[in-house]
Amino acid sequence: MQNTLQDFKDDLSKALYGKTTADTKESGLCIQCNEPALPKCYSDAGRKEFSISGLCEKCFDSIFE
């Protein structure tokens, strides 16, 4: 049973990408493309999104294309 929202988020990211968002923040690599994330975050919103989801801004933006 899930204890917290963070546990749910970690379980989901492990199932989808094989790692947690904490892993991506520690490595600095995007959870989806596995490339350095911050060079691909060109706005404050993109950097904030990386800290939340582990996605670089380019990958995050591609979700909505």
pLDDT single digits (tens) 12-62: 999 999 999 899 999 999 999 999 999 999 999 999 999 999 999 999 999
Query: Residue 65: pLDDT band by 50, 70, 90 thresholds?
Result: confident
Q: Is the pLDDT of residue 3 over 90?
A: no
**Helix ranges (DSSP H) in the chain:** 5-17, 21-27, 44-53, 57-63
Neighbouring CB atoms inside 10 A of 6's CB total 12
Name beta bridge partners: 29: 36
Please give the residue range of the domain that contains residue 56. Answer: 5-63
The C-alpha atoms of residue 45 and residue 5 are separated, in whole angstroms, by 22
Higher pLDDT among residues 53 and 3, named by residue = 53
Query: For the chain, how many structural domains are there in total?
Result: 1
* pTM for this entry: 0.83
